[in-house]
Amino acid sequence: MKKTAILLLTLSILASCKQEKKVEAIEEIITEESSEIQPINDDVLESAVIYEANIRQYSEEGTFDAFTKDIPQLKDLGVKIIWLMPINPISETKRKATGGDFADLIEDETERAKMLGSYYAVSDYKAVNPEFGNIEDFRELVKTAHDNGIYVILDWVPNHTGWDHVWIKEHPEYYVKNDKGEITDPLNPDGTSKGWGDVAQLDYTNMDMQNEMIQDMMYWVKEEKVDGFRCDHIEPTPVDFWKRAIAELRAERAVFMLGENDDPKFMQGSDLFEMEYGWKFHHLMKDIVKGEKPVNEFYNLMDYINTAYENDDIIMNFVTNHDENSWNGIVTDRYKEASESVLALSYAIPGMPLIYSGQEYDLAHQLKFFEKDQIPKEKGKVWPVLEKLGELKNTNPALHGGKQKADYEPLDLKNEHVLSFKRHKGNDEVIYLGNFSNKEQTISISEKGSYNEYMTGKKLELSNEPVTLKPWEYMILVN
């Protein structure tokens, strides 16, 4: 009897332990599920900073893993969205190199190996570039970003593919052809080549191609949990395609859509792109800094944006990106002494500010586009500026720039060299003042009250007293 009792007691204890472990396992699963990042939403977009990650040039290794290690510190810059430049394999046929050469014409294998090609010559929409790592490495990048409250969007190339893409052989009907029936590279409206010889132009009159394109995008949303797409060169693609594609993607999961364009037609209604490039702002500020256009053109641009776009449209404001850096020079070449003033302005105006890989480390050279290069990794002057601007963007409702933007109000200082405006939402108020000239300017502000100059921490009482700005100096006043 005693042996039987002991045996029953032992079995009871073992059963209890198994039950406890089962409960613990269930609790662990529930905890894991509840810790997943919430779907991207309008609240996130109001105060977000977006970071463009050039994986190839971000580190010496040029890998997903090397970038993943640094994701936690991007939070210090206020980053809430990471845009990954194309992560797909790159076609080898007609692979492009600096200077326009094609690697398949280069006989020396060592030289050919240096030609990594354009990220935008995709050979497989549903695979990762082995140059960067494997799919598990990519998944760890996404998980790390999500664990840090940061969303990940992929750079998608809908307009063309590389010449190695499987569709070239299996579905030549997916591509635009010339009079001889040959697949063409992208063409201008007059039929001349755009000069993008390393890619083949897709034909959007073919509905089967459209369906496969949507399916390939769906893979990344459904299987890899990405949070949206930055879509390359969308102007040649039909608006109706995007209405269908975005609706299908959002039926699966909330996604954020950024289009490389500056035409409001791709943003009309809630079923199209949420954000597009602020090219007009970028080019205008270059002209103002060079003295080629007056400051008041800025106010005209803001009026245009206010009337041409819907209230919930978002503009991505930037001082550099991968195209501008590689082809048009570094930030200080464009903006010179006004570089920080324009950077601060890109955070202060309605919209979402962009940081491009290396910008935070005072990138002072043009990154190679087709070969391996590397950004600097030493924090200098720009990092602390971005840190402060990111904090203000994240925390002050007066800088909301998404679908429920803070109000924008130009201030008339009666000075043709000083750009000035007020942003406000509820009781929060931010004033931007910028002297866009090489001479000291003294201004009078009609606003009254106590303010902090945000970047320096100095207190400022406004009561019709003159304020002096040094050449190219700016102030961000917070009530």
Q: What is the pLDDT of residues 178-199, one digit of tens each?
A: 999 999 999 988 889 999 999 9
Question: What band does 255 get if pLDDT is binned at 50, 70 and 90?
Answer: very high
**What's the confidence (pLDDT) of residue 4?**
43
User: How far apart, in whole angstroms, are the C-alpha atoms of residue 412 and residue 415?
Assistant: 8
**What's the confidence (pLDDT) of residue 362?**
98
**What's the confidence (pLDDT) of residue 297?**
98
Q: Which residues pair with 315 in a beta bridge?
A: 276
Question: What band does 7 get if pLDDT is binned at 50, 70 and 90?
Answer: very low
Query: Per-residue pLDDT for 8 more than 50?
Result: no
Three-class SS of residue 338?
helix
Query: Per-residue pLDDT for 80 more than 90?
Result: yes
With a threshold of 0.85, does the pTM exceed it?
yes
- Residue 235 contacts residue 160 (beta carbons within 8 Å): no
Residues in the chain, total: 479
Give the least confident one: 45-49, 93-97, 217-221: 93-97
Query: Per-residue pLDDT for 13 more than 60?
Result: no
Considering only residues 101 and 116, tell me which one the structure prediction assigns the higher pLDDT.
116
What average pLDDT score do residues 327-351 get? 97
User: How far apart, in whole angstroms, are the C-alpha atoms of residue 348 and residue 440?
Assistant: 22
The per-residue pLDDT for range 123-139, each reduced to its tens digit, is 999 999 999 999 999 99
Residue 322, both tokens: 């991968």
Query: Per-residue pLDDT for 461 more than 70?
Result: yes
Give the least confident one: 94-103, 217-226, 275-284, 408-417: 94-103
Q: Give me the percent of the chain exceeding a pLDDT of 70.
A: 90
Question: What band does 18 get if pLDDT is binned at 50, 70 and 90?
Answer: very low
User: How far apart, in whole angstroms, are the C-alpha atoms of residue 230 and residue 156?
Assistant: 6
**What's the confidence (pLDDT) of residue 113?**
62
The per-residue pLDDT for range 355-395, each reduced to its tens digit, is 999 999 999 999 999 999 999 999 999 999 999 999 999 99
**What's the confidence (pLDDT) of residue 97?**
79
Considering only residues 401 and 444, tell me which one the structure prediction assigns the higher pLDDT.
401
Q: Are strands 228-231 and 49-53 parallel, antiparallel or unpaired?
A: unpaired
**What's the confidence (pLDDT) of residue 107?**
65
User: How far apart, in whole angstroms, are the C-alpha atoms of residue 475 and residue 418?
Assistant: 11
**What's the confidence (pLDDT) of residue 161?**
98
* Residues in contact with 26: Cβ distance below 8 Å, sequence separation at least 6, in sequence order: none
**What's the confidence (pLDDT) of residue 115?**
82
Question: What band does 102 get if pLDDT is binned at 50, 70 and 90?
Answer: low
What average pLDDT score do residues 217-222 get? 98
Picking from 127, 102, 126, the residue whose alpha carbon sits closest to that of residue 115 is 102
Question: What band does 463 get if pLDDT is binned at 50, 70 and 90?
Answer: confident
Query: Per-residue pLDDT for 447 more than 90?
Result: no
**What's the confidence (pLDDT) of residue 31?**
36
The per-residue pLDDT for range 316-330, each reduced to its tens digit, is 999 999 999 999 999
Three-class SS of 369-401: CCCCCCCCCCCCCHHHHHHHHHHHHHHCHHHCC
- DSSP 8-state assignment for residue 90: B
- Which of 2-11, 34-43, 172-181 has maximum average pLDDT? 172-181
**What's the confidence (pLDDT) of residue 103?**
63
* Residues in contact with 142: Cβ distance below 8 Å, sequence separation at least 6, in sequence order: 152, 224, 225, 226
